[in-house]
A and B are shown apart, each in its own frame.
Chain A
Amino acid sequence: MPHGCAEIIPMQQHRALILRSNRFLGSALVDKGLVTTGDLEEANGKFMKAIQSSDLKRASILSMLLFDFKKLEEAKLLDYLVEERKLGLVDLDFIELQSLRPMNIDLSLCWASSTVPFDHVEGTYLLASCYYMSAPVVKYWEDLLDGRVIWYGTTIASLSRALERIEEIHEAEDSANEDE
């Protein structure tokens, strides 16, 4: 059984995971030749500013490289995941998402690791992630879910929209509970 955190635990709790997963992701992107060390240095600087200002939702090396510095094309990254890592892709916009609470998964962990479980079939969790190249993210989730995981790659936009939709689902659940 997953032993995820209960309700609304602040992102701060995942600070170490955010640091570690971003550090590994950056190194992996350089190792695979997807960005240069110079690009990563720039992104690291901005990443640390976000960390120090506790803007943890903005603290993503990947989104900084993609959108702020435009040093990486997301299509190239997805191509790499499909061709080299044999990963399937999923567009979460077409998935009917559900509350994470029955799975006992903390939403802030999803934001922190850019990963979301989008389905649960016969004890196996289907996970969509933008951080599959970051070993700590993969390890964290696989430990959490006892290894019963099938990984998919997704885009940052798709993941962000999905997490926002799940937030709305959780808010609706909270309102319904209050009404009762």
Chain B
Amino acid sequence: MTQIDQPLVVDVIASGIHDAKNSMFDALARIGIATQAIREDRTDAALTALAETERAVVASAERLSKLMSAYRLARHENPVSMLPVDVRELLEDAMMRVTAGRENGITLDSHCGVDGFWICDRELVTDCLVNALQNALRSARTTVHIAAAATPEGLELTVADDGPGFPPELPSHADGSQSGVGLFIARRIAELHSRHGRHGHLDLKNGGPLGGALFRLVLP
């Protein structure tokens, strides 16, 4: 971690703590609603509140997970743990962790064009994809597509949506936004994956296959 990066990581960690606290507060409030509903024999309302609580807790866990990623990036010189990862399972894991999008009627589909394993940090890369999916599900009108392909550059993982695309000025960690923090982490993770002197990289552009934003993470 360079001197320049250090303050950025502190921002990321502060932002993560803030988000996690918000989610926990949300969960607590919904537990209160569920308790009240149980007292009043309103089972359906209680079940709805508990389902929302679960989502808030999962969201909080996701944020804490992101926070841990940021911490690892700051704490260690080379925090990646390289393992052979089945690419299909990598996509499955990322999709399983984003449930919110499916509820607002957005279709989430996938295509895995890699038949086998890739050497990467499973948890960090999954975190990256989850973050990209969450951003895409927030912006998409109808569809989000996640895909994997083997290219001459390496493993190409893409998340595309049919939303309005990235704003002219990309969100950054400094604005404390979820997407800004996630993109900062994604860039660092991409850079930390290296093979035979080549490093991974992150490309963000508009006008992807679905017409909206395209998140493209390439791992050598």
> Does A associate with B in a complex?
no
Report which A residues bind B (CB closer than 8 A).
Answer: none
Report which B residues bind A (CB closer than 8 A).
Answer: none
